């Protein structure tokens, strides 16, 4: 059983450390990488993979995290700061409306998928493994969704509402760091 009070203490410490490190980063993607590296170390029930049915044959517990940033033409989401994605996926574009990343950008609302098997609309984007559980939060700035930050695990039922609340707090840090480091200018250069 998770110690929620301890988790909240760890989350506050991780948020403070990530904020300081991201603030000193060399650029916007480097700032987001601080956050996408921190979240998989923090979020989720670390024993979820031990529960029967949470992993299928051939699966192992692993985590991934990334941001999808809305392109200037608002036609795509562009993958930045990926952790545990295939190297070829960095800066890949997906349609703005594809899957749950698209839904979160459109609705501007966070989302918990405790078990992706129960969501027929789940679209596998990650090449390294099929996510069994995930949390999504929009990166909001000036009332607009700049993108979405996602943390996923292979084991089902890894994330819950407590994880989602902390994930949302990190999404605000990510949005602020993206803007502080001229993320829109960087994105424009990536788009050519």
Give residue-wise pLDDT tens across range 160-170: 999 999 999 99
Token readout for 137 is 């939060």
Q: In Å, what is the CA distance from 148 to each residue of 10, 71, 102, 119, 138?
A: 23, 12, 8, 19, 4
pLDDT digits (tens, 9 = 90+) for 5-54: 999 999 999 999 999 999 999 999 999 999 999 999 999 999 999 999 99
pLDDT, residue 103, reads: 96
Q: How far is CA 116 from CA 57, 107, 155, in A?
A: 16, 19, 10
Instruction: Please tell me the distance from the alpha carbon of residue 185 to that of residue 26, in angstroms, as a whole number.
Output: 14
Helix axes 28-42, 183-191, angle to 10 degrees: 100
What average pLDDT does this structure show over 159-187?
A: 98
pLDDT at 2 over 90: no
Tokens of 13: 């410490």
Domains of the chain (ranges, CATH numbers): 4-191 (3.30.450.40)
What is the reported pLDDT for 49? 96
What pLDDT is recorded for position 50?
94
Task: Give the pLDDT of residue 74.
Answer: 95
């Amino acid at each position: 059983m998770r110690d929620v009070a301890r988790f909240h203490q760890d989350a506050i410490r991780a948020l403070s450390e990530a904020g300081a490190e991201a603030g000193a980063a060399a650029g916007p993607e480097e700032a987001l990488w601080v956050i996408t590296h921190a979240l998989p170390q923090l979020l989720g029930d670390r024993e979820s993979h031990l529960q029967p049915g949470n992993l299928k044959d051939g699966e192992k517990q692993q985590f991934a995290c990334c941001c999808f940033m809305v392109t200037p033409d608002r036609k795509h989401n562009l993958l930045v700061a990926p952790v545990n994605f295939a190297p070829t996926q960095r800066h890949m574009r997906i349609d703005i409306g594809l899957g749950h990343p698209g839904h979160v950008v459109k609705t501007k609302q966070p989302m918990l998928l405790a078990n992706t098997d129960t969501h027929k609309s789940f679209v596998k984007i990650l090449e390294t493994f099929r996510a069994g559980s995930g949390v999504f939060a929009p990166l909001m700035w000036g009332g607009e969704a700049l993108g979405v930050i996602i943390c996923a695990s292979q084991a089902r039922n890894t994330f819950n509402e407590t994880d989602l609340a902390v994930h949302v707090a990190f999404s605000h840090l990510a949005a602020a760091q993206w803007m502080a480091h001229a993320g829109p200018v960087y994105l424009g250069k990536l788009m050519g």
